[in-house]
Structure 1
């Protein structure tokens, strides 16, 4: 079985997911996991799929041909076993929108050897306060040797600098493990 990570982007229109799913189904592939959204008039997505080895090359060709209907598809074979992180931590962030929040948080996490497994962000109008709010939710992955107390302290200090609220919780259980407020 071959595993692929696929990205796609095209002008948003009815039928794009159907155009994408038809060759996946026709080649006996399994649509495993995906995240897709309309962003700035474009439809963009990422998905993980499995296909029988004997049909992998034909599927790649069929998906590449979707350029003809306005959907650009890129595939990367990802059969390589991945070491799963020992710790998973949910992160929620909310604060006034400004440039650099993701860059600073992601650099600090990378410096601690913590990966971002999932990231969803949005900017919305701030009710009653005016301005815009930036919000992010993420699932973080870390090794068993990662000190959650040190990670929490580092993120609390960074939250104070960025003037945002960050809440952490165990990804396997409910309830925040730590939080910090804006300064």
Structure 2
């Protein structure tokens, strides 16, 4: 059995996920995990699949055909089998403030300085109430190594939150 991580992108239309799932199934594979999204009219996804070794070449050929068939470009990479991460603490981050350039860079730089890993990040903009401009909002799932101090992470984020003038919440996931 070989594990692959697939990245897929195409113009949004019905049937993209069905075509990819069919290729996995037709080659005896198992759809293990995925994150799929629609942004600005584009469908994008990342999918982990397990495939029997004898089916890999046929599967990779089938992926190449998906772009011509349904407009879905798919890249496949063999997943590296790594040791599971050491002890870690999970945190959830929520950020809300006036939209401005550089916000994601500043937040992620502060997280990196504290050794935090971002397991998931979703961000979006929306109109502020009463014509107050655009708001930027983000939610992230973080993982801190056991040796990291949550108070240091909070302090690093609160420092930039004050500079960016955003509300920030950092707590354990529910």
Q: TM-score range by the shorter chain?
A: over 0.9
SS in 2 for 1:146: coil
Equivalent positions of 1:56-75 (< 5 A) are 56-69=56-69, 70-75=71-76
SS in 1 for 2:135: strand
Q: d(CA) in 2 for partners of 1:129 and 1:41?
A: 26
Structure 2 residue aligned with 1:88, among 83, 87, 90?
A: 90
Q: Is the contact made by 2:158 and 2:168 (CA closer than 8 Å) also made in structure 1?
A: yes
Q: Is the contact made by 2:114 and 2:152 (CA closer than 8 Å) also made in structure 1?
A: no
Q: Which deviates more, 85-94 or 138-147?
A: 85-94
Shift of 1:80: 1.4
Equivalent positions of 1:100-115 (< 5 A) are 100-115=102-117
Q: Is the contact made by 2:2 and 2:78 (CA closer than 8 Å) also made in structure 1?
A: yes
Equivalent positions of 1:9-88 (< 5 A) are 9-69=9-69, 70-84=71-85, 86-88=88-90
Q: d(CA) in 2 for partners of 1:30 and 1:92?
A: 34
Deviations 1:152-175 (A, max 9, x none): 11111111111111111113xx3x
Shift of 1:116: 0.7
* Normalised TM-score (structure 1): 0.88
Q: d(CA) in 2 for partners of 1:145 and 1:104?
A: 23
Unaligned runs of 5+ in 2: none
RMSD over aligned Cα, in angstroms?
1.4
Structure 2 residue aligned with 1:141, among 132, 140, 143?
A: 143
Shift of 1:54: 2.1
Q: d(CA) in 2 for partners of 1:38 and 1:151?
A: 31
